Amino acid sequence: MAWRTALLLFVWIAFSGPVRALAWTERALEAADPFVFTPNDLRLGDFTIEARVPWRWVDGSFEWVRIDRKFLVPRARIRVQIPPGTPVTYRGRHFESREPELELPVVLSQESGNELRVGGASPSVIRPRFKPRAPLKQPIIIDASCSSTPLKIQSPSLGRSWGHVVCRSTHPNQETGYGLRMDVDLLWESENPSEPVKIGNATSESQDGITHSLSFSGNTPRYELAKGGESMSLAAPLPDRFRPLSVSLGLGPYSHMEVLRPFATVYAAYLFNDALKMALFSAFPIRKSPEIDTGVYVIVEQFRGIDERVTLNLLLGAHALSFRSQGEYLNRMSAPQGVEMSFRDCLLRTQNLTLGGFFYPKIEGRSYVNAWVRYGNSKFFTEFNFINWQEPVSTGSFSVKSAGLSIGFPLFRAF
């Protein structure tokens, strides 16, 4: 059994490197859902084909696809004029046309090995090339995964290249608490793909020639990158320690029981990971004997899609109501369940739109509705909130309806 394990390990080591180097371009051909938001002004006219056979682009075939919830990659279709029956090979796919013209898909990438081979024993090679007609208005695409990060990019000298940046935050456990590290993956295409990328004084060791990986921490807040006379700087000033508990406060005017009053909302969240966190919400009018609505719930991500910008979360938990009725203070518990949908980079980068609500249908005189629309980020947001609840009491029922607009801002982070 030991020699079999060693043989399998040898085969995996021998073949895993080249397969990984080519895999992401191959998956760009297989992506069935090309729906993404157009990230910049890159067009089909910014690409050409190196070929010894006549060719032309298929009009309207340019599109973006997202690969493995990571890079955005352009692709298109071309028509090449070749003798009928001439074999064409591209990324492990074989094509053969009975007509003097063959149409096939092409990934618009200068990744090493991204080429078509036309013919048999001595094939002609066709390669996509990036040849911009003019400098791009937005050469570097900052992905929505970077919305909640402090990443800043300066690229004043980029005129003949384009790139895509993807972010991923991690919180390694340290002796002093949770650390904070941000990994950044950069896809950088230029007119001359053979030119190496310099990161500081070192040459980037990129397997495919166009993708590069950086890791930010409190000790490495900035990177300088250069390639063929063009350069950019990426900065992410991160604290040395990550504090998973955040507390924010919202203040604003509400119509509360048909009277305009100042209203306060308190938000607390403890982050376990990007798909799971614990949250607390409390709302109350600022007056004597306020009705206090407090909920504790777990937020669990259920869906992420539409170019990785839309997430759907379930909110599972319970809440408590404290109020005064007929001179008596009462505390009631119930378990309304909620749902929340967020849209990252809505209208503006780093700005998120969130719609959500808790619902408890009327059962034995008890009901609860809490709906909200929030826009902004973790530093500053505005929120419209509607709360309507009813509880049975000795004299019948007690109900409260509140609606208003509040401004939210962070108070502190802890742990």
- CA separation, residue 118 to residues 28, 47, 70, 90 (Å): 21, 20, 31, 9
**pLDDT of the residue at 205:** 86
Residue that wins the pLDDT comparison between 312 and 68: 312
Contact assessment for residue 79 and residue 55, using Cβ atoms and an 8 Å cutoff: yes
Please give the single-letter amino acid code of residue 305. Answer: G
356 HSE (CA, 13 A, CB side): 21
Distance in Å from the first CA to the final CA of the chain = 49
> Stretch 259-269: mean pLDDT, rounded?
97
Three-state secondary structure of the chain: CHHHHHHHHHHHHHHHHHHHHHHHHHHHHHCCCCCCCCCCCCCHHHEEEECCCCEEECCCCCEEEEECCCEEEEEEEEEEECCCCCEEEECCEEEECCCCEEEEEEECCCCCCCCEEECCCCCEEEEEEECCCCCCCCCEEECHHHCCCCCEEECCCCCCEEEEEEEEEECCEECCEECCEEEEEEEEEECCCCCCCEECCEECCCCCCCEEEEEEECCECEEEEEECCEEEEEECCCCCCECCEEEEEEEEEEEECCEEEEEEEEEEEEEEECCEEEEEEEEEECCCCCCEEEEEEEEEEEEEECCCCEEEEEEEEEEEEEEEECCEEEEEEECCEEEEEEECCCCCCCCEEEEEEEEEEEECCEEEEEEEEEEECCCCEEEEEEEEEEEEECCEEEEEEEEEEEEEEEEEEEC
Share of the chain above pLDDT 90, in %: 68
**pLDDT of the residue at 326:** 87
pLDDT(64) > 50: yes
pLDDT(15) > 70: no
**pLDDT of the residue at 387:** 97
**pLDDT of the residue at 103:** 94
Which residue shows structure tokens 């972010």? 167
Distance CA 223, CA 227 (A): 13
pLDDT(113) > 90: no
Distance CA 100, CA 164 (A): 38
Contact assessment for residue 339 and residue 350, using Cβ atoms and an 8 Å cutoff: no
Q: pLDDT category, 7, cuts 50, 70, 90?
A: very low
pLDDT(17) > 50: no
Distance CA 340, CA 266 (A): 18
**pLDDT of the residue at 175:** 64
Q: pLDDT category, 206, cuts 50, 70, 90?
A: confident
pLDDT(19) > 90: no
Lowest mean pLDDT among 21-30, 105-114, 137-146, 189-198: 21-30
Distance CA 180, CA 92 (A): 41
Closest CA to 315 of 331, 335, 344, 286: 335
Contact assessment for residue 186 and residue 204, using Cβ atoms and an 8 Å cutoff: no
Q: pLDDT category, 24, cuts 50, 70, 90?
A: low
Distance CA 246, CA 223 (A): 29
Residue that wins the pLDDT comparison between 344 and 273: 344
pLDDT(91) > 70: yes
Contact assessment for residue 185 and residue 161, using Cβ atoms and an 8 Å cutoff: no
Q: pLDDT category, 174, cuts 50, 70, 90?
A: low
**pLDDT of the residue at 23:** 52
Tokens of 169: 């935050």
Which residue shows structure tokens 């300066």? 154
**pLDDT of the residue at 43:** 94
Tokens of 20: 């990984």
Distance CA 218, CA 171 (A): 12
Q: pLDDT category, 11, cuts 50, 70, 90?
A: very low
Distance CA 253, CA 287 (A): 13
Distance CA 146, CA 39 (A): 14
Q: What is the pLDDT of residues 388-411, one digit of tens each?
A: 999 999 888 999 999 999 999 999
What lies within 8 Å, CB to CB, of 400 at 6+ separation is 256, 257, 291, 323, 387, 388, 389, 390
Tokens of 388: 């309507």
**pLDDT of the residue at 1:** 43
**pLDDT of the residue at 12:** 36
Closest CA to 299 of 317, 281, 283, 282: 317
